[in-house]
Structure 1
Amino acid sequence: MSFQNLRYAYFPGCVAQGACKELYQSTQALTQALGIELVELKKAACCGSGTYKEDSQLLEDTVNARNIALAESLNLPLLTHCSTCQGVIGHVDERLKQAQQQNPAYVTQVNGFLQKEGCSPYQGSTEVKHLLYALVADYGIEEIQRKVTKNLQGLKCAAFYGCYLLRAQSSMPYDDPIRPEAMENVFRAIGATPVYYRGRTQCCGWPLASYATTESFKMAGMHIQEALAEGADCMVTPCPLCHLNLDSRQPEVEKVIGKQLKLPVLHLSQLIALSLGIPPKQLGLERHIVSTKPILEKLGIA
């Protein structure tokens, strides 16, 4: 599959169609600009973000086997732009592929539930791939670099990978789960300067937010302060749930830690799209809680 005819079964997830609509918007703008075709899985269900398995592993596997089977029916890889969706669906895919060899009766059980609903069976014939790795491994860093019309020179970007993207699956073919560089390599390709700080591969705190809010906000505040201390102009994340805790709740985080932060947090698709000359309004940058105007002013776009 060359970068010239990339097609994916697109799993947008829930958050990008709700609280982070700008992620859906900017992913569409970016992929169209790059000539990547997305076939949206309109019938896909929420991956569960790791909560289904608290009640039943079988439930999580069945729901996400159906999501994967929708992509398989199109003979396409499943593409997500959410690290949590990648972690959950990717891990289910990994587990079911292993079960096909070691416990085929379990896969038969899962497919039995799918058959009752009139769904295609899970076959284990495709892969689950995050947008970041589709860009890095399929499209290619050099091809992205060739598309740049607005070099982001001078912009210091702190990647926030989060945990699901890096450690939910046992196999990590496109990056190092302990010392990742995929996002930093993208930053360099579009002219931005990567900022390294301790918390870039840690949890944002979102999973704690519903029952340990103060601790969740302290975690987010710690990461943001570390990035600021290293000179970051913005954070960039491949996960909308991380974005919610780092951007949408940053004013609440400031109250908990007693410090002003004001660090803009961009979705990865927004940052790359800016380097392709796509207007900020088309990327939903005005939807952020923490103003993105300082970034646009620094880049001479505002």
Structure 2
Amino acid sequence: MKYAFFPGCVSKGACPELYQSVMQVYPRLGIELAEMTTATCTGAGVLQEKDLRLGDALNARTFALAEQQGLPIMTICSTCQGVMSQANHRLTTRPHYLQEINGLLREEGLTYRGTTTIKHFLWILLEDVGEEVLRQHITRPLSGLRAAPFYGCYIQRPTDALEFDRHPDRGKSLERIIEILGAEVVDFPGKTRCCGFPILTINKKNSLTMVATHTRDAQSHGADIMVTPCPLCHLNLDGMQTNAASQEQTSIDLPILHLPQLLGLAMGLDTKSLGLNRNLISPDSALAKIGARL
């Protein structure tokens, strides 16, 4: 299984522990990666609000680079997955638009033929690696740990662009991974809602309220940790949790783990090698439940 690896901006910047943890787990699963070092940011939905054509051109360029290698794209960012999936959907369902965008790529000698597949690491674990192989690599089952899934927005909708019609199990993929790894799934209403990150700089108060709502809700349902496949969600839920608790005059202490960190724990990897010491909300108490520590 070989993929053109699109790590995204945040895993190389504000959340380096995400990149660090996925680098630890993927070789053990028979995955081969060719990192896309010349690809650009997806635009994260923000650019698209201002200039959709420019955003689609940037993503078409990334798709063309992967297409040249004959590889599907693997991303570890839900926001990247959503934005790229939407761009690819527009390009592959509107031939004249694809032709227009290719006119912009021509200066770089690139052409996108519309054949690139974009898959989040979460989906790859279930659809390509498979449950049987995953179970073979679990040396430290997460039994006794209660984990709340948090998808965020972009990896759940729009379902047509994300191909939920062809892969209906994607809507429950994070819960399935948690179960395979041996932890107990803690369901709560906010798992597919926005984390608040997109409005952090324009409406900080509401953004922090959203952080408090999601984390308190998961905690009130008995969660020891929350796990997310989105680094932007992680930035807000982990990085702004203390601020959110202060604003709402409440106590919140819910560790937020990246998906590869949770996987690495079940695979018996060292916690520091997974970057868990970088998480702002300490996972110490949760780690103790599975016999691990920082």
What does residue range 127-206 of structure 1 map to in structure 2 within 5 Å?
127-170=117-160, 171-172=163-164, 173-175=166-168, 180-206=171-197
Q: Which residue of 2 aligns with 1:3?
A: none
Question: CA shift at 1:248, angstroms?
Answer: 0.8
| 1:65 lines up with 2:56 in the alignment | no
Alpha-carbon distance in 1 for matches of 2:109, 2:18: 29
Letter in 1 for 2:87: V
* Cα 1:58–1:276 shift into 2, 3 Å: same
Alpha-carbon distance in 2 for matches of 1:22, 1:298: 22
| Residue from 263, 267, 270 that aligns with 2:258 | 267
Contact 2:153 2:192 in 1 (8 A): yes
Question: CA shift at 1:169, angstroms?
Answer: 4.7
Give CA deviations for 1:58-107 in whole Å, capped at 9, x if unaligned: 1011000001111111101111010000000111011100012xxx2x21
Letter in 2 for 1:137: E
Alpha-carbon distance in 1 for matches of 2:80, 2:274: 21
Contact 2:211 2:240 in 1 (8 A): no
Q: Which runs of 5+ in 1 are unaligned?
A: 1-5
| 1:230 lines up with 2:221 in the alignment | yes
Query: What TM-score do you get using the length of structure 2 for normalisation?
Result: 0.96
| Residue from 10, 13, 29 that aligns with 1:34 | 29
**Number of matched pairs:** 290
SS at match of 1:165: coil
Give CA deviations for 1:135-178 in whole Å, capped at 9, x if unaligned: 1111112221121011110000000000100104523233467x
Alpha-carbon distance in 1 for matches of 2:151, 2:137: 24
Alpha-carbon distance in 2 for matches of 1:195, 1:169: 24
Contact 1:158 1:195 in 2 (8 A): yes
What does residue range 65-84 of structure 1 map to in structure 2 within 5 Å?
65-84=60-79
Alpha-carbon distance in 2 for matches of 1:174, 1:279: 33
Q: Which runs of 5+ in 2 are unaligned?
A: none
Alpha-carbon distance in 1 for matches of 2:128, 2:104: 34
Alpha-carbon distance in 1 for matches of 2:158, 2:12: 23
When the two chains are superposed, the root-mean-square deviation of aligned CA atoms in Å is: 1.2
Alpha-carbon distance in 2 for matches of 1:210, 1:169: 28
SS at match of 1:236: strand
Alpha-carbon distance in 1 for matches of 2:144, 2:184: 7
Query: What TM-score do you get using the length of structure 1 for normalisation?
Result: 0.93
Q: Which residue of 2 aligns with 1:7?
A: 2
| Residue from 70, 80, 100 that aligns with 1:109 | 100
Question: CA shift at 1:27, angstroms?
Answer: 0.9
SS at match of 1:149: coil
Letter in 1 for 2:203: A
Question: CA shift at 1:301, angstroms?
Answer: 1.1
Question: CA shift at 1:241, angstroms?
Answer: 0.2
Letter in 2 for 1:51: V
- Percent identity over the alignment? 42
